[in-house]
Amino acid sequence: MNDGGVRGAVEALVGTDLSVADHTDLADASRAVARLQSFVDHAKVQIARRGRQLGDEGDTSSAHTLIDEGRCTGTDVKSTNGRDRVCGDLPDFEAALASGAVTGAHLDALAHHTKSLTDAERSDLAALSDELVADAVDQPPALFDRTVKGRIDAIRNQHRPDSDAEMLDRQRAASCVKRWTDRDTGMKNTMLSLDPLRDASLWNVIDHHLARLRSDVANAELPFGQLQVEAVLASVTTSSGGRRIPEIVAHVDHRSLCHGRHAHTLAETADGTALPVPTVQRLCCEALIQAVIVQPDGTVDQLCAEQRTASRQQRRMLEAMHSTCAHPHCEVSFTACRIHHVTWWTKGGTTVLANLLPLCETHHHLVHEGGWSLDIDERRAVTWLRPDGSVWLTDAGPNRTAADRAGRATRASCDRSERPPGRPPPADARSESDDDGKHAGPRSTKRRYAEQPNLL
Ligand SMILES: [Zn+2]
Ligand SMILES: [Zn+2]
């Protein structure tokens, strides 16, 4: 086994009395510990690998030596196996670990983020091996974890451009509320588990109330924890007094907004949580958009804003024409709808009545994330186009009057053989026709919408 300074590190530690060490001694000792840590991490990987080989050859007792003899927990063994997988995919990292240039924690970051990569994505990552090792040598594990995530997100988005939208769909479907009473304390607990988008939206309102409560001198003595409780309660019980609180603040670069994701896309919430570009485009449909000119050094000195929310008058006029969502089979009332820009802002659409249409949350999602598109003529007849650009149907225009509603019902019953889905299918859903029992790999949100027109 390569020494690579290991003996020196042991001698340095054995020969130092740490109880009387000064700063220089502590720094030397810490470096020696890091060297030994890499050595031990590498030795564990080698033990696990060899134990597996012996196990495959029939010596089952060797497969568990790390637990049986090495006093490792199951979690230790799991992370060691992850590191071994990384060494297999990126042999340069095994060499770097053996020489003490990186630690096991660097390999853990890679193991964590590469778990769900396809073979093609893995080979793209392997091509970046030199750069990744250089990053790991320069960066502490926590920073390296972010670097790896950024690089892997870029690779995944090249191969699977809709993967981030799918992830958000899954997180949205997994969101839940739980409520229980603690038997010992009698305290009432409520746990909210939310996707990042709705979490950002909720906390925007809570932070708004928190700022208001903090600025009130009457609350000067209240601990921060209590103020936070008051802010959460205020966000569900108080109206904003007609004042609009932004639902979410998203940062996106102009090129991504207009042309989709690219290698240096910025699309995230204010706290840095990544968002799918089509989702940010949907948010921009009804938003205050602020364009910020960022200088090459990252500083900002110009800001211009554009209001993209329909005016009160425009909403009144739309409400007079549409009693519900404009989707021909949808009964969601106008008041629960978003105002969609038929021609998107990024494609030159403006906030004028002729370009606005009410869509419920689900059908707004269908149009932006699902790849369907709309066309509206001067009589406000709306043409729905499938993701492949073919026409699904053209409706008869506004649906507020009784005659329109009757026509709409007839149309709806005629067209039920094929219609856009009402909601995204669950991530693991398979179409009825998919009866050969095989899953043809992950499907994009757009493809799932296109393939499963009869959902709902
Ligand atoms: Zn929209
Ligand atoms: Zn709808």
Give the model confidence (pLDDT) of 108-136 as tens digits: 999 999 988 999 999 999 999 999 999 99
Residues 317 and 279 in one domain: no
Which residues touch 371 (CB under 8 Å, ≥6 apart)?
387, 445, 446, 449, 450
Residues 118 and 240 in one domain: no
Is 395 domain-assigned?
Answer: yes
CA of 251 to the centre of ligand 2 (A): 27
Residues 280 and 347 in one domain: no
Residue 438: pLDDT over 50: no
CA of 358 to the centre of ligand 2 (A): 8
Task: Give the ligand whose atoms come closest to the C-alpha of residue 328.
Answer: 2
Residues 233 and 198 in one domain: yes
Tell which of 289, 324, 359 closes a domain.
289
Residues in the chain: 456
Residues 441 and 318 in one domain: yes
Q: Residue 280 belongs to what domain range?
A: 193-289
CA of 408 to the centre of ligand 2 (A): 14
CA of 421 to the centre of ligand 1 (A): 17
| Bridge-based pairing state of the strands 176-181 and 188-193 | antiparallel
Is 249 domain-assigned?
Answer: yes
pLDDT digit string (tens) for 264-289? 788 888 777 788 888 888 888 777 77
Task: Give the ligand whose atoms come closest to the C-alpha of residue 367.
Answer: 1
CA of 216 to the centre of ligand 2 (A): 42
Asked if 86 contacts 106 with a C-beta cutoff of 8 angstroms, the reply is no
Tell which of 254, 289, 324 closes a domain.
289
Task: Give the ligand whose atoms come closest to the C-alpha of residue 373.
Answer: 1
Residues 117 and 61 in one domain: yes
For the whole model, what pTM was predicted? Answer: 0.56
Task: Give the ligand whose atoms come closest to the C-alpha of residue 327.
Answer: 2
CA of 333 to the centre of ligand 2 (A): 9
CA of 152 to the centre of ligand 1 (A): 29
CA of 426 to the centre of ligand 1 (A): 22
Distance CA 180, CA 72 (A): 36
Task: Give the ligand whose atoms come closest to the C-alpha of residue 324.
Answer: 2
Is 186 domain-assigned?
Answer: no
Rama region for 391: left / alpha / beta (φ>0; ψ in -120 to 50; rest): beta
Task: Give the ligand whose atoms come closest to the C-alpha of residue 325.
Answer: 2
CA of 79 to the centre of ligand 1 (A): 44
CA of 291 to the centre of ligand 1 (A): 19
Residue 422: pLDDT over 60: no
First-residue to last-residue Cα distance in the chain: 62
pLDDT digit string (tens) for 28-72? 999 999 999 999 999 999 999 998 888 888 887 877 888 778 888
Residues 271 and 340 in one domain: no
- In the chain, how many domains are there? 3
CA of 24 to the centre of ligand 2 (A): 67
Task: Give the ligand whose atoms come closest to the C-alpha of residue 337.
Answer: 2
Is 298 domain-assigned?
Answer: no
CA of 359 to the centre of ligand 2 (A): 5
CA of 363 to the centre of ligand 1 (A): 9
pLDDT digit string (tens) for 215-251? 888 888 888 899 999 999 988 887 655 555 667 778 8
Residue with more model confidence, 407 or 203: 203
Distances from the Cα of 13 to the Cα of 3, 29, 39, 267, angstroms: 16, 6, 15, 47
Task: Give the ligand whose atoms come closest to the C-alpha of residue 420.
Answer: 2
Is 197 domain-assigned?
Answer: yes
Is 348 domain-assigned?
Answer: yes
pLDDT digit string (tens) for 304-357? 666 677 888 888 889 888 888 999 888 888 888 889 999 987 788 888 999 999
Residues 205 and 279 in one domain: yes
Is 181 domain-assigned?
Answer: no
Residues 145 and 198 in one domain: no
Token couple for 111: 């193991």
CA of 239 to the centre of ligand 2 (A): 26
Task: Give the ligand whose atoms come closest to the C-alpha of residue 374.
Answer: 1
CA of 368 to the centre of ligand 1 (A): 6
Tell which of 160, 183, 202 closes a domain.
160
CA of 91 to the centre of ligand 2 (A): 52
CA of 351 to the centre of ligand 1 (A): 11
Residue with more model confidence, 408 or 454: 408
Is 175 domain-assigned?
Answer: no
Token couple for 450: 């296109």
CA of 232 to the centre of ligand 1 (A): 29
CA of 266 to the centre of ligand 2 (A): 30
Residues 269 and 352 in one domain: no
- 430: confidence class by pLDDT, cuts 50, 70, 90: very low
| Bridge-based pairing state of the strands 250-252 and 300-307 | unpaired
CA of 447 to the centre of ligand 2 (A): 20
Residues 22 and 116 in one domain: yes
CA of 322 to the centre of ligand 2 (A): 12
Task: Give the ligand whose atoms come closest to the C-alpha of residue 351.
Answer: 1
CA of 313 to the centre of ligand 2 (A): 22
Residue 256: pLDDT over 90: no
Residues 409 and 440 in one domain: yes
